[in-house]
Structure formats: C-alpha cells, structure tokens
Amino acid sequence: MSVSTSNAYGKISISDLAIAKVASRAALESYGIVDTVSRRLSDSFSELFKKDAGGKGVKVTTSGNRIFIDVAVLIKYGVSIEAVAESLKEGIKYKVEYFTGMIVDTVNVNVIGLQL
C-alpha cells in the first residue's frame, strides 16, 4: 500500500517501503539504539536474500492519510529503556511527518533485546 495526497501540481504517492526506510534511518540515528531487528525468524531469512533491506525491523501500515509504524530494536545496555523509547518515537514521528507531509498516528517500539 501507499499514502497519497494531491496538491496544485498533481498527485503524490509514497510507498510503505519508502516510509519504512525513513523510519529505520531515524531509529539508527537515535541515541541508545544499536540496530533494528526483525521480530520473526522467517523475516530474518527473507531479508538475507533481499538486495535492499532498508526497512529492516520496521512495519508500516497506512489507512487513508494516517501512518502507523511498528519498529523492533536492540537497545544499548545501561540506558533507560523508557527514555530511549520515547526519544525514538518522537524522532521517527518527526522525520516521517517531515518527509511525507502526512500525519503519523502511532509509533510502537518493541525492544527485542539488549546489547552489551
């Protein structure tokens, strides 16, 4: 699926994969995040054979002009999980809204593990 909008110049359509790549990049730039990871083993195997796994660990769902994002991450050991998760949600929401011009309804952070 994709999100669409139109303006005076025409229609703009943004794919879920493009949104996932922006969210993944925003996650990796956040303090305390080590990596984005797949939630299921089958997802990990499928990403091994993809040329471009830019949206790894990010699931994007769209409904109309609303965007719902689920991100699975590894967090650095010793940081506050709550603080890092809140910062991550705000960072992803800001960057995706800036990139798309659409409203991000929710960002769910799933902490899969810690890395020493």
DSSP conformational letter for 40: S
| pLDDT for the residue numbered 102 | 87
The C-alpha angle 91, 96, 100, rounded to 5 degrees, equals 155
| pLDDT for the residue numbered 12 | 85
Q: How many CB atoms lie within 10 A of CB 21?
A: 19
Rounded distance between C-alpha atoms, residue 95 and residue 97, angstroms: 6
In order along its 116 residues, the chain shows pLDDT tens digits of 678 777 788 888 889 899 999 999 999 999 999 999 987 555 544 555 555 556 789 999 988 778 999 999 999 999 999 999 999 999 999 999 999 888 899 999 999 999 88
Q: 2-115, what's its fold?
A: Alpha-Beta Plaits (3.30.70)
What are the structural domain ranges in the chain? 2-115
